[in-house]
């Protein structure tokens, strides 16, 4: 069983060592359980290369985070966040890291993640990561 905890600090740039340690902790579970189904086909903006990349550790992290988002976020916010994430991925791939539109998109996605805090327990077995339980952190106003 693998338990992952997501807090607001996961989404910030200043806490990259925490993100790396989380990824390193997840990686052995993905290797042992052969999780490598998620493949991304890259189509180059500059027509220089094409490739297929496997990301087993990030597949598990993404599944856990998405499961927690379903619990924490409103349906419409999730829908808008998905659209913004797609646009943000295009901007990153095309090299628009420091453009005003990328900064705006990044701030919108970060704002959508402020309430996504809690823990997710995944059962990892034979190529699948399934949510065993999830718990949202309660905020006091």
Domains for the chain: give ranges and CATH numbers. 2-73+115-136 (3.90.1260.10)
Task: Give me the percent of the chain exceeding a pLDDT of 90.
Answer: 22
Q: Is the pLDDT of residue 1 over 90?
A: no
- Whole-angstrom Cα distance, residue 9 to residue 3? 17
What is the bridge-based pairing of β-strands 50-54 and 118-125? unpaired
pLDDT, the chain, mean: 72
Provide the greatest CA pair distance for the chain.
51
What tens digit of pLDDT does each residue of 2-47 get? 555 554 334 344 444 545 555 555 555 555 555 554 445 555 555 5
Would you call 120 helix, strand, or coil by DSSP? strand
Q: Helix crossing, 16-32 with 56-72: angle to 10°? A: 110
What count of residues does the chain have?
141
């Amino acid at each position: 069983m693998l338990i992952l905890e997501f807090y607001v600090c996961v989404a910030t740039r200043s806490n990259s060592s925490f993100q790396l340690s989380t990824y390193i902790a997840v990686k052995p579970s993905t290797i042992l359980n052969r999780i490598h189904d998620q493949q991304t086909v890259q189509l180059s903006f500059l027509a220089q290369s094409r490739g297929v990349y496997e990301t087993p550790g990030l597949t598990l992290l993404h599944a856990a985070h998405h499961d927690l988002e379903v619990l924490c976020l409103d349906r419409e916010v999730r829908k808008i966040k998905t659209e913004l994430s797609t646009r943000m991925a295009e901007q990153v791939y095309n090299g628009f890291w420091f453009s005003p539109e990328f900064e705006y998109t990044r701030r919108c996605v970060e704002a959508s993640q402020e309430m996504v805090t809690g823990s997710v327990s995944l059962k990892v077995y034979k190529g699948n990561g399934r949510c065993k339980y999830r718990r949202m952190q309660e905020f006091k106003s």
